[in-house]
């Protein structure tokens, strides 16, 4: 019999919980609602909310939504989106994660002070698009030390991070920039703190999960990691999980399970990203249970 355990430290971060709560409250109180992009990077949860009246739209559709209510998801948006909504009489329901909002504010202040802003992140990610917008698109986005080596070293520079990136790469990039740039600082959440070794703008709920996830992965023979394919946080945490346990397998839902994964396993752990709902991880655990007539527990 296989023992299946759902990771109690996985699932929605508080920023995602807040966004989902806002969406559900708006749907219940005022009816149909539009979301600017998928409300979170999890197709099953997005589908659940769409069934309740949430419609996903793109920025290009804003001009056709006069008089409608549009949700800004946790990732945030650039200032141009707010201006476009005002221009066309669209009511914005702002559910930007407060952590992301703080990073936007800090980037804007450094840009206004003449700094070259470098952002560690994924250029096409929704959060990074919002961060770039704080600099009129002038910030430099890097994903690696090699890309950081191409940054203009003649300008005073500040480094920020997308909130869901990994700390080791962030600090490797910071080291690389610090070696080349005379006037270089690492941006933080705090106005007064520029602490190269202790501060960054990576979400603590994301980075803080690393150790607990490693422990959970090592405690099980096999780990099934549940997340949306587009989840940036999911990709980071999946990598952490695989480092701790090579027998870690990815799936978006129970339909992606392969019985061969569990051959010879006595314990299976089910974990997920900060955008993975608890109910979905439990569905996956129950599907594994049905495969092996085992017991599912949350521990």
- Local structure of residue 115 (DSSP, 8 states): P
Q: What confidence tens digit (pLDDT) does each residue in 5-29 have?
A: 999 988 888 888 999 999 999 999 9
Mean pLDDT of the chain: 91
End-to-end CA separation in angstroms for the chain:
18
Model pLDDT, residue 249: 98
Q: CA-CA distance, 45 to 286, in Å (whole number)?
A: 18
What pLDDT does 210 receive? 83
How does DSSP classify residue 138? -
Q: Is pLDDT at 194 greater than 90 in this prediction?
A: no
Percent of the chain with pLDDT over 70: 93
CATH class of 14-97: alpha beta
Residue 195: is its pLDDT beyond 70? no
Q: Which of 284, 235, 273, 280 is nearest to 15 (CA)?
A: 273
- Region of 131 (left: φ > 0; alpha: ψ -120 to 50; beta: rest) is alpha
Is 127 in the active site?
yes
Q: Where are the domains of the chain?
A: 3-11+206-298, 14-97, 99-162+167-201
Cα–Cα–Cα angle for 119, 16, 121, rounded to 5 degrees? 15
Per-residue pLDDT band at 219 (split at 50, 70, 90) = very high
Q: What share of the chain is helix, strand, coil (3-state, %, to 5)?
A: 45, 20, 40
Over residues 270-295, the pLDDT tens digits come to 999 988 999 999 999 999 999 876 44
CATH of 99-162+167-201, one of 3.40.190.10, 3.40.1010.20, 1.10.1060.10, 3.10.20.80: 3.40.1010.20
* Candidate list 26, 45, 127, 254, residue with the active-site label: 127
């Amino acid at each position: 019999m296989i023992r299946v355990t759902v990771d109690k430290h996985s699932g929605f971060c508080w920023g995602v919980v807040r966004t989902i709560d806002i969406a559900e409250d708006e749907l219940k109180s005022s009816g149909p609602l539009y979301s600017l992009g998928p409300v979170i990077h999890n197709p099953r949860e997005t589908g659940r909310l769409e069934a309740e009246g949430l419609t996903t739209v793109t920025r290009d559709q804003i001009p056709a939504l006069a008089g409608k209510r549009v949700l800004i998801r946790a990732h945030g948006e650039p200032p141009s989106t707010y201006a476009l909504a005002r221009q066309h009489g669209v009511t914005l329901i702002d559910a930007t994660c407060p952590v992301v909002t703080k990073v936007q504010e800090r980037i804007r202040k450094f840009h206004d002070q003449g700094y070259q802003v470098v952002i560690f992140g994924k250029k096409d990610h929704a959060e990074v698009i919002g961060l770039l917008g704080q600099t009129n698109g002038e910030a430099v986005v890097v994903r690696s030390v090699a890309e950081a080596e191409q940054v203009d070293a003649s300008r005073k520079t500040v480094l920020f991070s997308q909130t869901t990136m990994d700390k080791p790469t962030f600090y490797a990039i910071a080291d690389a920039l610090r070696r080349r740039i005379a006037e270089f600082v690492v941006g933080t959440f705090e106005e007064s703190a520029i602490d190269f070794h202790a501060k960054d703008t990576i979400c603590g709920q994301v980075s803080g999960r690393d150790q607990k996830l490693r422990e959970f992965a090592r405690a099980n023979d096999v780990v099934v990691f549940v997340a949306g394919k587009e989840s940036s946080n999911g990709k980071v945490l999946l990598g952490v999980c695989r480092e701790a346990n090579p027998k870690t397998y990815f799936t978006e839902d129970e339909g992606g399970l392969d019985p061969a994964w569990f051959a010879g396993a006595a314990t299976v752990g089910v974990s997920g990203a900060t955008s993975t709902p608890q109910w979905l991880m439990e569905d996956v655990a129950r599907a594994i249970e049905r495969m092996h007539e085992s017991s599912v527990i949350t521990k």
